[in-house]
Amino acid sequence: MNDISNLSESELKHKINFLRQQIDSKDREIKGLFKEMNLHNKGTNELRDKRDELNKRVKDLRVTAMEYRNKRDEVNKKIAELKQQRNEMLSHQNTYTDKISELKKKRDDLNKIARGRIEFLNKAYKDQLDKFSTIDIPLEYEQSLFESLHELGDRLKAIYKANIIHNEMGDVYGKVNEFKGDLDTISALIRDLASESQENHVKMLEFFNEVDEFKKQSDEYHRRLVETYKITRPIKDKIDVLKKSLSGIREELTIYLDRLSEIQLVKDKTKEDKKRIEAKEKFNKSGRMSLEDLRLLMENDEIKFEKES
């Protein structure tokens, strides 16, 4: 700012009036902008409250949805463990099933050799053996009977072996049935857990759907707020610029007012000194004075009263 020490009182008053006019103008402009901004801001508090309320609901619902997802995942983990256990049992069961197939083939091959039940073969062998041992038969028939005994012996051996294998198959079938019972139990448990997992999954989806719906509503309120801010932000920026300018003008006004006060003090002092001199001269000439004259002379120690002893 320029040096104002040489400005006259008239120039100072002119400048002060000019600055005050600027202040009044900018104050009116600021009030107008505030009024305009308030019109645009009407309802923003309600929009903000609704957005924040929905965001809180979204947060709470997401927590609940995550709880159901965690429950589902925990159940699915148990299902995976049970399926692994079931697969291992199926692998063992298949080993026994393969064993049964192998034994069955051996038994069937032996039954083909035996070609009859063990009771029939035992009776036939005993009858043939009695004939061979006790009856006097021709040599040719004896040869044929010997061959028949040998064949029946081979068939009896085959049927005995087939029965042993059949019994062994029964033992293996018993183990397979044991596995089947355990597998049925595990499969039933897997079905129950799968149902529980599905319930948790459905609940999770329900809550996430609510989250999505409330999030859409919240985003819409936020969008409307942002649109309002886009309008009011430039207005607020204008207000800030005007306030800053106003502050500078007021500081400048203070400087001019202070300078004017200094000039006024000098004028008042000069005027006071003139009155004091006139009062003193009047008193010296006439010995009289007014109360105002007395005050002026006493304040400047121009007159004193002696105290009575």
Q: Give me the domains of the chain, ranges plus CATH numbers.
A: 9-272 (1.10.287)
Q: Which of 245, 214, 230 is nearest to 37 (CA)?
A: 230
DSSP code at position 136? -
Cβ(37)–Cβ(232) under 8 Å? yes
Say what the pLDDT of residue 283 is: 66
Say what the pLDDT of residue 309 is: 44
Say what the pLDDT of residue 90 is: 81
Global confidence as pTM: 0.55
What phi and psi, each to the nearest 5 degrees, are found at residue 306?
-80, 140
Mean pLDDT, contiguous 10-residue spans, the chain (309 residues): 77 92 94 89 88 95 96 96 88 79 83 75 68 62 66 78 83 78 88 95 96 95 91 92 93 90 82 70 67 66 54
d(CA 12, CA 16): 6
Q: Which of 81, 37, 17, 89 is nearest to 234 (CA)?
A: 37
Residues 6+ away with beta carbon under 8 Å from 294: 303
Q: Give, in order, the Cα–Cα distances in Å from 265 to each of 257, 294, 296, 302.
A: 12, 22, 17, 21
Cβ(249)–Cβ(19) under 8 Å? yes
Interior angle at CA 84, CA 78 and CA 86, nearest 5: 100
Cβ(253)–Cβ(20) under 8 Å? yes
